[in-house]
């Protein structure tokens, strides 16, 4: 008789704790790798932004939420008016 024979195998042992935890450890490792890559991308983007802002600032261009503002270095209003009025021709009478 097939179902009552003495040669039946014992059931396999339950999986060990390491086998149960292994997928969770792999998930944490993958998340840690993505976190490190994301952190380095974030730091690099901030460095590029700061370097570009500094170069634009050296060229007297200021970026803000309102837009870009171009400034003239070391020129007072009175001197600027004097220089620009030289180009205006005098009226001929």
Mean pLDDT of 20-49: 97
Q: How far apart are the first and last CA of the chain?
A: 133
Extents of the domains making up the chain:
17-85
Nearest by Cα to 61 from 70, 52, 48: 70
pLDDT in tens, 48-78: 999 988 898 888 777 777 877 777 666 666 7
pTM (2 d.p.): 0.56
């Amino acid at each position: 008789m097939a179902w009552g024979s003495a040669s039946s195998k014992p059931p396999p042992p339950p999986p060990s704790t390491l086998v149960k935890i292994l997928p969770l450890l792999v998930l944490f490792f993958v998340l840690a790798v993505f976190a490190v890559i994301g952190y380095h991308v974030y730091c690099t983007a901030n460095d590029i932004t700061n370097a570009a802002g500094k170069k634009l600032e050296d060229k007297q261009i200021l970026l803000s939420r309102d837009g870009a503002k171009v400034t003239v270095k070391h020129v007072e209003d009175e001197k600027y008016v004097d220089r620009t009025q030289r180009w205006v021709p005098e009226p001929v009478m």
